[in-house]
């Protein structure tokens, strides 16, 4: 697929997967619009992508703020006339028992991971529908398929993203607009490292690099696939859960149980 003359909007482009995506799309000839909350880190991304894509730009934006998203998308459309591809990548997370998690934290995670995706998608859709063309890629997680101990808010945000994406796929496909969902395992970024040592630790075999995720996203767009779970080992685990959910849940409970904080009542 030729990405020349394509305008690609990437959220969370200041680091990690988002920065890799911005660099890779710029190298393939796309005009990249990267957004993120950190102006300093966005500038670092811009310095890299401008070397191969002089028209590319970055816009500081908190995707959890509806007004900021509207202004960001409006500015991008005004400057470039369209957005061909939207990649909803921005996300935050943590690992902590739900009973010890403040509701403010839960709301912040849902606002960034889920509502931020909703806001961005809602803003870019009118121009895509008018043109009868476009592609929306949502970066989910293995935690959007498998409930993970001490990650209730994060899992909830990604499960919500998955359901949203599947429903939106059916709405938009007849209109010429594609929706894709990419679910990687733990990604080797500062995001994952911030709680990598908090139990239960993810198996090393499920880990992927930001570069691998970026390549998977580009391939998914080229092949117009709806869903990709990576690595293959994680895809097999997710398939097992679908086939034998009760067996899978029992095995997971045996694994997670020793990491539960607190004492269970007698008889449980």
Residues with catalytic annotation?
Answer: 154
Token pair, residue 86, equals 């939207």
Token pair, residue 156, equals 């909830």
Distance of alpha carbon 198 from alpha carbon 186, whole angstroms: 13
Distance of alpha carbon 53 from alpha carbon 23, whole angstroms: 9
User: Strands across the sheet with 85-88, in order?
Assistant: 57-60, 31-36, 7-11, 85-88, 134-139, 177-184, 227-230
Cα 67 to Cα 18, 29, 74, 87, 109: the distances in Å are: 22, 30, 11, 19, 18
């Amino acid at each position: 697929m030729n990405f020349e003359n394509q305008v690609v909007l990437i959220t969370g482009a200041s680091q990690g997967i988002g920065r890799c995506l911005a660099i890779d799309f710029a190298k393939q000839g796309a005009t990249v619009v990267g957004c993120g909350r950190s102006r300093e880190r966005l500038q670092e991304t811009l310095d890299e992508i401008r070397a191969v894509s002089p028209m590319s730009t970055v816009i500081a934006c908190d995707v959890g703020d509806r007004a900021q998203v509207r202004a960001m998308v409006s500015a991008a459309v005004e400057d470039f006339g369209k957005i061909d591809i939207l990649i909803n990548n921005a996300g935050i997370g943590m690992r902590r028992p739900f009973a010890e998690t403040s509701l403010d934290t839960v709301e912040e995670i849902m606002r960034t991971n889920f509502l931020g995706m909703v806001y961005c998608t809602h803003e870019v859709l009118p121009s895509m529908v008018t043109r009868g063309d476009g592609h929306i890629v949502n970066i989910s997680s293995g935690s959007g398929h498998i409930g993970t101990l001490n990650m209730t808010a994060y899992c909830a945000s990604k499960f919500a993203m998955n359901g949203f994406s599947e429903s939106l796929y059916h709405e938009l496909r007849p209109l010429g607009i594609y929706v894709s969902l990419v679910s990687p395992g733990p990604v080797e970024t500062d995001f994952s490292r911030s709680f990598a040592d908090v139990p239960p630790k993810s198996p090393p075999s499920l880990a992927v690099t930001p570069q691998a995720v970026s390549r998977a996203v580009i391939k998914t767009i080229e092949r117009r696939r709806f869903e990709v779970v990576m690595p293959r080992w994680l895809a097999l685990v997710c398939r097992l859960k679908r086939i034998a959910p009760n067996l899978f849940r029992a095995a997971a409970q045996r694994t997670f149980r020793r990491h539960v904080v607190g004492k269970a009542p007698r008889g449980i």
